[in-house]
Structure 1
């Protein structure tokens, strides 16, 4: 179990040079854009335009704040994504463009290398006590807007945008929200049998 603090996240340029991304965590540690197994980041999108292309990557996008965004994926307009809508998964290596609905947004981006990993992203309201079961892969917990108390062997505190990285097959955790907001549960699984 590991806590990643929002103040320690790394800010880096987009692959296409059109903005900056706040990298929350990447695996393996220190991997670049061309050799990661999985990567979780946040980006501030200030203008409509094309997405960077990532060969062999599957990605899931969620809007954290702002009016929303409409994606055009391989020439097909997708649903409008807002801070209330379900995360949207799509291939990172097909032409994708974005149109902002009403000004800049901040998004959460989860990417996995198709040949090695798969992922799921779940958006939950921060309301009432929750229990999170750790699976066979890696599970990440990310509160947005509010804080979170995590009861395991002791009590851990997560502030807004801090991330809890859980080891595989660990104990079920009890989560107690503090304040209003949302909770993202990201599950990562290796596609190879030897992991």
Structure 2
């Protein structure tokens, strides 16, 4: 188990220069936006505009903060994201743009390179006393502060901190409900 603290995330401009992202983690270590196998990041969307195109990449996005984000998809389709909504998966090859609904937004992104990895993202809520045990390699990104117990140690988790869990590793939530986005990354077979 590894804890990634938001204060330590690498901040960088988007590939298209239209915004800022905080890189939670990427593989392999030291990879760039051009050669990662997978990349987990938090994007700050301050203005309406185009998304970066990532050819050969599969993406999933979930809204963390803000009133809502409308994605303008190919053929003019619109997909609106909300803080409680289901994460949305799409091809990084698509040319899409976004529009904030009333205020800037923050979202979580997982990107995986096709034929190297696949991924899934889901929202979960852990009640006090509930334990999360993972069957594979996962990242738990917290969308609320939490107090957890892992390996007999109590830890304070801040909003947007993340925990990398290998198969069979677990933690128990304490005190209050914990809102988490659980990202599963699987190597391609």
User: TM-score, normalised to structure 2's length?
Assistant: 0.92
Q: Give the distance between the partners of 1:65 and 1:139, measured in 2 at CA.
A: 22
Instruction: Check the 8 A contact 1:6/1:162 in 2, yes or no.
Output: yes
Q: Over residues 67-104 of structure 1, what are the superposed CA-to-partner deviations in whole Å (9 max), with x where a residue is unaligned? A: 00111221242331011111101001111111111110
Instruction: Check the 8 A contact 2:133/2:171 in 1, yes or no.
Output: no
Counterpart of 2:135? 135
Alpha-carbon shift at residue 145 of structure 1 (Å) = 1.9
Counterpart of 1:154? 152
Whether 2:177 is the aligned partner of 1:183: answer no
Instruction: Check the 8 A contact 1:116/1:190 in 2, yes or no.
Output: yes
Counterpart of 1:90? 90
Unaligned runs of 5+ in 1: none
Instruction: Check the 8 A contact 2:20/2:43 in 1, yes or no.
Output: yes
Alpha-carbon shift at residue 179 of structure 1 (Å) = 3.8
Aligned residues, how many? 188
Q: Give the distance between the partners of 1:33 and 1:44, measured in 2 at CA.
A: 17
Counterpart of 1:112? 112
Instruction: Check the 8 A contact 1:58/1:112 in 2, yes or no.
Output: yes
Instruction: Check the 8 A contact 1:58/1:89 in 2, yes or no.
Output: yes
Q: Over residues 98-148 of structure 1, what are the superposed CA-to-partner deviations in whole Å (9 max), with x where a residue is unaligned? A: 111111001111111112101111112343333323224x21111112213
| Moved >6 Å (runs of 4+) | none
Instruction: Check the 8 A contact 1:39/1:111 in 2, yes or no.
Output: yes
Q: Which moved more, 1:104-113 or 1:178-187?
A: 178-187
Counterpart of 1:100? 100
SS of alignment partner, residue 29 of structure 2: coil
Q: Give the distance between the partners of 1:90 and 1:188, measured in 2 at CA.
A: 16
Q: Give the distance between the partners of 1:133 and 1:13, measured in 2 at CA.
A: 34
User: TM-score, normalised to structure 1's length?
Assistant: 0.89
Unaligned runs of 5+ in 2: none
Distance change (3 Å), C-alpha of 1:146 and 1:190: same
Instruction: Check the 8 A contact 1:126/1:177 in 2, yes or no.
Output: no
Cα RMSD (Å) of the superposition?
A: 1.6
SS of alignment partner, residue 7 of structure 2: helix
